[in-house]
Amino acid sequence: MSQIHDHLGRLLRKAARAFEAELTVQLQARGYPDIRPGHGALFANLDAAGTRAYELARRARMTQPSMAELIDDLEQKGYVVRREDPSDRRGRLVVPTERGLRHLEDARAIIAEIEHSWLERLGPNQGEALLEALRQLAEDRSSTDRSLQRPH
């Protein structure tokens, strides 16, 4: 049996999944037992004033049908509602409910706690170096994403 090599992409995915798992466990402990890691694709891209479903899907890099399933699930659970878009009556916005807003606030606090804990484990030099490296990689990726979207 061959050994799987932990290349950068694999390590980044493993770290992201560990972060999401820790966030989910803490959210569930704080009163959100029906939240699962996949819901983050919606919550991470939702504006407090509401966001159109196609925009949520674009931001999350998901198909519109997949995002619609998340919206349906979270609407059924009471975290979001669909409302008429005041800027375009033909459109609908996905808007967080009071419960959804509390969840977003709690999630931000938990994310800050997890980040602090992880960076503390790495130590000040490694933690800052990791953050700077990830920022640089993310910015480089953003410019690559923009160039891929342009017609050739």
User: Is position 116 within any domain?
Assistant: yes
Domain contains 106: yes
Q: Does residue 99 form part of some domain?
A: yes
- 3-state SS, residue 119: helix
What confidence tens digit (pLDDT) does each residue in 44-64 have?
999 999 999 999 999 999 999
Residue-range definition of the domain harbouring residue 109? 8-147
What does the pLDDT average to over 82-89?
A: 89
Give the bridge partners for 80, in sequence order: 96
| Cα separations in angstroms, 104 against 23, 28, 86, 101, 139 | 12, 13, 23, 5, 25
- Say if residue 100's pLDDT is above 90: yes
The answer to whether 95 and 80 have CB atoms below 8 angstroms apart is yes
Closest alpha carbon to 81 in 67, 91, 99, 96 = 96
Count: domains in the chain: 1
pLDDT band at 138 (very low <50, low <70, confident <90, very high): confident
In angstroms, rounded to a whole number, what is the distance separating the alpha carbons of residues 9 and 11? 5
Quick one: pLDDT band at residue 135, thresholds 50, 70, 90?
very high
Does the residue 48 lie in any domain? yes
- Domain of 32, CATH number, reads 1.10.10.10
